[in-house]
Structure formats: structure tokens, C-alpha cells
Amino acid sequence: MVSSGVVEEFEIEVMRSLIDLEENQDLKKYMQNLSYVKAYRFRDSIVILMQRVGEVPYDIYQRISRYLSESLNAKVRVINGSSRDLKSIASQLLFPARILGINIVWLPDGTSFHILRIPKRDLKYLSLPLDAAEKILSMIAGSEVQIRGE
């Protein structure tokens, strides 16, 4: 899988940590309702998309993120990737910053990119560095994403 490029090397460590987390008695019943989709890494930030099968409270994602941050020695954010909608994923990734809107800019050559607008005062609340959030959202969306404070 790694040699074919479907899974990156760091994702194996992520999956091992998730398997270890299934042994945690507090989180075991919630981990059974989550399935791994994909992990994205930029420098020391990792975003893990998990698909929800059953009911999982929002604070469980935060507890899983804290555990994985310690075990992977990186800033980890676990988000619900059940909906591949850019606004839904971005709002979870950038929380507590609010999203005002998403614009699509079409270029003359037929390509496009997204501009994600957030209040300027919310820029200080981003849980990831701005460049890491832009890069990870770009990887998830499959096209360039820029974050702008208004």
C-alpha cells in the first residue's frame, strides 16, 4: 500500500495509534463507531478524517485529538469526514474561528481555487498555523484553498 502511494508512511503510525486507542476503556465504544478515512500532514500538523458510523459526541473528537497529539508527537486534529463538503470540513478544522463564506475564483485557463473568508479577529483563534490550514484544506479539496481575514 505504501509503495503504491495509496497510503503514506506516516499514516501507518496514525493507524497504529488509532488501534491502540481502541483499547482505551473510556473511548472504546466511540472508536467502534468511527472508521479511518485519510490523514493529511503538513510539517508538524496532522489532520485525520474519520467517518462516523454511529453516534459520536463532538468532545470525543477532541479527546482523540489530544491522545494522538501525545502519541504521534505532532499537532493532531481529528474531524468528521463523513461529509466531503469543504465548508463542513473547514469549519471543523478551523474551529473556533467562524467561516463567513467560500468563494470560487475561476481563472481564464479553466482552473479554479477557493477563497475561504473568516473574520479578521478570528485569525488569532485558528488551531493550526494559517499556512498549514491552507495546505491541508487544499489537499482535502483537491484544489488550492486560500484563507483570508475580512
Provide the residue ranges of all domains of the chain, joining segments of one domain with +. Answer: 9-80, 86-149
State the Cα–Cα distance between residues 67 and 50, nearest whole angstrom: 15
C-beta of residue 133 within 8 angstroms of C-beta of residue 146: no
For 100-144, write each residue's pLDDT tens digit: 999 999 999 999 999 999 999 999 988 888 999 999 999 999 999
For 31-79, write each residue's pLDDT tens digit: 888 999 999 999 889 999 999 887 888 888 899 999 999 999 999 999 9
Q: Residue 101 has which C-alpha cell?
A: 463564506
pLDDT band at residue 3 using 50, 70 and 90 as cut-offs = low
This prediction has a pTM of: 0.85
State the Cα–Cα distance between residues 2 and 14, nearest whole angstrom: 13
The identity of residue 65, as a single letter, is: S
CATH class of 86-149: alpha beta
pLDDT band at residue 145 using 50, 70 and 90 as cut-offs = very high
Residue 32: per-residue pLDDT: 87
- Closest alpha carbon to 80 in 64, 96, 69: 64
Around 61, how many Cα atoms within 13 Å sit in the side-chain half-sphere? 21
